[in-house]
Structure formats: C-alpha cells, structure tokens
Amino acid sequence: MSDKRAVVLLSGGLDSATTLAIARDEGFSSYCLSFEYGQRHSTEVQFATKVASHLGATEHRIARIDIGAFGGSALTDMSIEVPVNETGESDEIPVTYVPARNTVLLSYALGWAEVIGASDIFIGVNAVDYSGYPDCRPEFIEAFETMANLATKVGVEGDKISIRTPLIMLKKEEILKLGTSLGVDYSLTVSCYQLSKEGESCGVCDSCRIRKAGFSAAGMQDPTQYQ
Amino acid sequence: MSDKRAVVLLSGGLDSATTLAIARDEGFSSYCLSFEYGQRHSTEVQFATKVASHLGATEHRIARIDIGAFGGSALTDMSIEVPVNETGESDEIPVTYVPARNTVLLSYALGWAEVIGASDIFIGVNAVDYSGYPDCRPEFIEAFETMANLATKVGVEGDKISIRTPLIMLKKEEILKLGTSLGVDYSLTVSCYQLSKEGESCGVCDSCRIRKAGFSAAGMQDPTQYQ
C-alpha cells in the first residue's frame, strides 16, 4: 500500500469514478468519501460502493449529513421540480444547484484528510458542463485550498494540502476516454438526477442528457440502464 | 421582524450566546444553527435551545452531522482522554481540537445563509483563549470569507456574505462584561468539555478553567452548576 494518501470524493457518478482512477494512477492510496444528504437519488451511494471496490480504494466511508435540511435545491427539496430540459448553455445558476454543497463536502474531506494525514483531496468538479455552478469554478477551488491550509494543523505545521480537480477543464467525452484508458467500468456509475430505486436512469434530466451526449461524442457505447 | 438576516452559530457556550446578543443588538433577525456531531456533551444543544429562546432568535435549527466519524479529537473520539490540565499558553495544538470543525460548521451556515438570503454569518471564535486552534485565527476567517463569496450564488451575483467574529480578539472577562450589558443570562450557558447528562460541569477541564477565570477576572458571580 502506498504511503501517499488522498481523500477522494466519490458520488457514484462518472466524473468521480474517473477522478478515483486518476488518483490510483498517480500512486495514491485512496480514502473514498461519499455522502447521504437527503438527495432524491440515495441509490447512488450503492453505485459509489461498487466503484470504490472496482478501483481498489483503501477505504470507503459514507457520511450522513443534513445538507438537505435547509432546502433551496431541486435535488434535495421535494417541492422543487427537477427540470427535464434545463440548458447547460445559460449563464444562470440552475435550480439543481445545492447551496454550498461543494464547500460542505470538501470541508468533510478536509477533516478526514487531517486525521489520516492525506496530502491531497480529489474532487471531480467540472467547469465545462456545470458552468452555472459557482462552486465548480477554478477560482472557488483555489480559494478553498488557501482556506484549507489556514484551517488545519497540517497547514500550520508546514505541509500543504492540495485540492485536486483533474477534470475541471475537460469535456465529457475527454473524461470518458481518459477514464476508459485507466480501466474505469462506466456501467458501475450513474448520473441521473432522479434515479429509480432499482438504479435505472430517467434518460431525460439534464444530467442524463449530458451523459448521453458524452458517450455519443466519444464514440463509445453507453452502458447506462435507462427506463 | 428585521429584514437584515444573519445566521448565528450557537453552541450553548458563553461565547456564542454573547455573539447572538451582539447580532440582535445590531438589529439582525437571527437564524441560529446548532450541531449534534457525536460530541461527548450533546446536552449542550439543550442549552443552545434555551439561549436561542432567551435572546429572541427568529429560528433555531439543529443539524446532525457525522464530523465525529473520522475521530482524531478528544471531544469526539472516546478513545482519547480529555485533559484536565491542558494549558492555553502553549503554541501546540490541543488534543481537544476537532479536525476542520469550524470549516464544516461555517460551510453549513453558508448553505443556510444562501437559502434564506442572510448577509452575515456570526461565529463566536476567539483567538485569545484558543490560540492553539488554527481555525480560530483571523487569517482563517478572512480566507473562509473570500472562499464563501466565490462559492455561492450570492457572491457571484454581487452581494457579499460577511463572516462576523465580534469576539475574536476579546479576553473572556471582556466577553462576559459585553454580554451582560446586552442582557445575556449566562446561567443558561455551559462550557464544560465533559458535561454530565444532568447539565453539571466538571470544573476541572480546560474549558471550565477558562470560564471560571473569566468570571473571576470580570468580578462577576459564576452561575455555573459544578459537580
């Protein structure tokens, strides 16, 4: 087992699976962290567990958090309808945006990184497909890293914690090709915002549409089970 | 009710009670947020509820989070003993430090602030008594604020979220005098790291010692119930 440790945020989606494969390729021992936060599609955590096992994670923990308690997003608040034709091209912030989500998830990762002595935190954010989400932008990630190094023992004592976003400027088809070259089995991943309990994807939500288009652009077979 | 909204982190301790009183004095409608995170002294949340009511909070929510799941602190990890004579004068980071705690708590506050449209987040951190905690320092708070304004819709759309730390450079006796002038009833607050289920304080842990010394230095009667 490598001495280089990384915390990898793992959602069960294709971006975070690819990110885990990249961390493994760089020789990190990967400590994967998933969340149950009142999301509509908690089935995704079961996919995350399969992905962690498939890609040789050292450990996989699931934290139950109350992020949905405040409402304000179609993904956690049942009173807001998930849009089926939301464009990814507008400058507006989508209603599927979860307030401060990446801030909360990275904060947990930071706590675990400190306890296990991990130098790197990997998160599969992407500024191309999710241009409307403020917390997917490079400038947010840089500011979080600066804060993280002031927040922790590690930062104070001289080592540095790096927030790693290897996918941030990649198109979906580039992510899929990269992951495939690193051995990712995308049939173990899901993207759907309204996944059924049986793990079937709707095929019409924004996230499904981006996924389908990515496989198509990459010239790859889409292994997703659609309803 | 005021249109100026603030999220106030409320622990049940004397610092956060004073902070809430300051937010009220500034005319904020206060949305108080407490956490149950596997701390040894979950009884403190009951004190927080009394304080919120006493100081006229608009709303009080309690989020249950898994911050203790990673271990690494005497306050959440039952295998590390709470020290009874830890000095506040050393430059070392105390074992009662919870990894990334203030980062996680502020991240939740940020999410709620965004949902309710709060411009200010109040946290009762103090760099004097807790000089060993990296996440109680002004440079951490400034870095968090910068990050917060990049992380959120609010920041992107032009308004600014401020992280307010009115106690950060005050001595305990100064905090007590200020809070008393603003009507805080300190008998409703607790500080003990190992509070009993009945709400009695040990009187010997680091936090109790700082509290006792503060009342003494302020020339005030200490209303705490010690065992």
Q: At which residue do the structure tokens 């991990």 appear?
A: A118
pLDDT at B147: 97
In chain B, beta strands by DSSP E: 5-9, 29-36, 59-64, 120-122, 162-164
- Please state the three-class secondary structure of chain A as a single string: CCCCEEEEECCCCHHHHHHHHHHHHCCCEEEEEEEECCCCCCCHHHHHHHHHHHCCCCEEEEEECCHHHHCCCCCCCCCCCCCCCCCCCCCCCCCCCCCCHHHHHHHHHHHHHHHHCCCEEECCCCCCCCCCCHHHCHHHHHHHHHHHHHHCHHHHCCCCCEEECCCCCCCHHHHHHHHHHCCCCHHHCCCCCCCCCCCCECCCCHHHHHHHHHHHHHCCCCCCCEC
Cα dist. B23→A180, B120, B169, B184 in Å?
A: 53, 9, 17, 12
Residue-range domains of chain B with CATH? 5-184 (3.40.50.620)
Which one-letter DSSP state was computed for residue B186? G
Up-side HSE of residue B184: CA atoms within 13 Å toward CB?
A: 30
Interface with A, mutate which of B70, B123, B133, B154 (most A CBs under 10 A): B70
Chain B residues closer than 8 Å to A153 by CB: 93, 97, 99, 134
Share of residues in chain A with pLDDT > 70 (%): 79
Q: What are phi and psi of B53, to 5 degrees?
A: -65, -45
pLDDT at B193: 79
| Residue A111 burial by Cβ neighbours in a 10 Å radius (0-12, 13-18, 19+) | buried
Interface with A, mutate which of B110, B114, B136 (most A CBs under 10 A): B114
Among the listed ranges A71-75, A220-224, B165-169, which one has the minimum average pLDDT value?
A71-75
Q: How far apart are CA A98 and CA A34, in angstroms?
A: 16
pLDDT at B30: 97
pTM of full prediction above 0.95:
no
Share of residues in chain A with pLDDT > 90 (%): 56
* Identity of the residue in A104, A139, A143 whose CB atom sits nearest the CB atom of B107: A104
Q: At which residue do the structure tokens 């902070």 appear?
A: B19
pLDDT at A191: 87
**Residues composing chain A:** 227
Bridge-based pairing of strands B29-36 and B59-64 is parallel
pLDDT at A185: 97
Q: How far apart are CA A183 and CA B221, in angstroms?
A: 67
Whether the per-residue pLDDT at A167 is higher than 60: the answer is yes
Give the nearest chain A residue to B152 (CA atoms). A134
- Nearest 5 degrees, angle CA A134-CA A36-CA A42? 100
pLDDT at A81: 57
pLDDT at A43: 79
Give the nearest chain B residue to A103 (CA atoms). B107
pLDDT at A53: 95
| Residue A83 burial by Cβ neighbours in a 10 Å radius (0-12, 13-18, 19+) | middle
pLDDT category of residue A206 using cuts at 50, 70 and 90: confident
Chain B residues closer than 8 Å to A147 by CB: 103, 140, 143-144, 146-147
Q: How far apart are CA B205 and CA B84, in angstroms?
A: 4
State both tokens at A104. Answer: 């909360």
Question: Is B132 in contact with B97 (CB distance < 8 Å)?
Answer: yes
Nearest to A114 by CA among A164, A73, A68, A151: A151
In DSSP terms, A7 is beta-bridged to A31, A121
- Nearest 5 degrees, angle CA A183-CA A119-CA A26? 25
Whether the per-residue pLDDT at A87 is higher than 50: the answer is no
Among the listed ranges A5-9, A37-41, A74-78, A110-114, which one has the minimum average pLDDT value?
A74-78
| Residue A220 burial by Cβ neighbours in a 10 Å radius (0-12, 13-18, 19+) | middle
Whether the per-residue pLDDT at A1 is higher than 90: the answer is no
State both tokens at B86. Answer: 């830890």
Q: What is the mean pLDDT of residues A84-112?
A: 71
In DSSP terms, A32 is beta-bridged to A8, A60
Question: Is B83 in contact with B124 (CB distance < 8 Å)?
Answer: no
Give the nearest chain B residue to A114 (CA atoms). B99
C-beta atoms of A66 and B67 within 8 A: no
pLDDT at B137: 93
> Which residues, in sequence order, are CB contacts of B209 under 8 Å at separation 6+?
none
pLDDT category of residue A88 using cuts at 50, 70 and 90: very low
C-beta atoms of A100 and B152 within 8 A: yes
Q: What are phi and psi of A129, to 5 degrees?
A: -75, -25
pLDDT at B65: 74
- Give pLDDT tens digits along chain B (227 positions): 558 999 999 998 999 999 999 999 999 999 999 888 765 556 788 899 999 999 999 999 888 776 656 665 554 554 545 455 544 444 555 555 667 889 989 998 998 898 889 999 999 999 887 667 889 999 999 999 999 999 987 766 777 999 999 999 999 999 999 999 999 999 999 988 788 888 889 999 888 999 999 999 999 999 999 98
Amino acid present at B134: P
* Identity of the residue in B99, B108, B150 whose CB atom sits nearest the CB atom of A115: B99
Q: How far is B119 from chain A (nearest CA, A)?
A: 14
Q: At which residue do the structure tokens 């300190």 appear?
A: B186
pLDDT at B91: 53
Q: How far apart are CA A192 and CA A215, in angstroms?
A: 14
| Residue A128 burial by Cβ neighbours in a 10 Å radius (0-12, 13-18, 19+) | middle
Q: At which residue do the structure tokens 């241009």 appear?
A: A131
State both tokens at A7. Answer: 């915390």
ipTM value for the complex: 0.85
pLDDT at B92: 57
pLDDT tens sequence across A3-42: 899 999 999 899 999 999 999 999 999 999 988 876 555 6
Full strand arrangement of the beta sheet holding B162-164: B59-64, B29-36, B5-9, B120-122, B162-164
CA A185 from chain center: how many Å? Answer: 16
> Which residues, in sequence order, are CB contacts of A68 under 8 Å at separation 6+?
A37, A38, A39, A76, A77
Chain A residues closer than 8 Å to B110 by CB: 99-100, 103
Cα dist. B206→A151, B16, B82, B192, B212 in Å?
A: 22, 18, 9, 8, 10
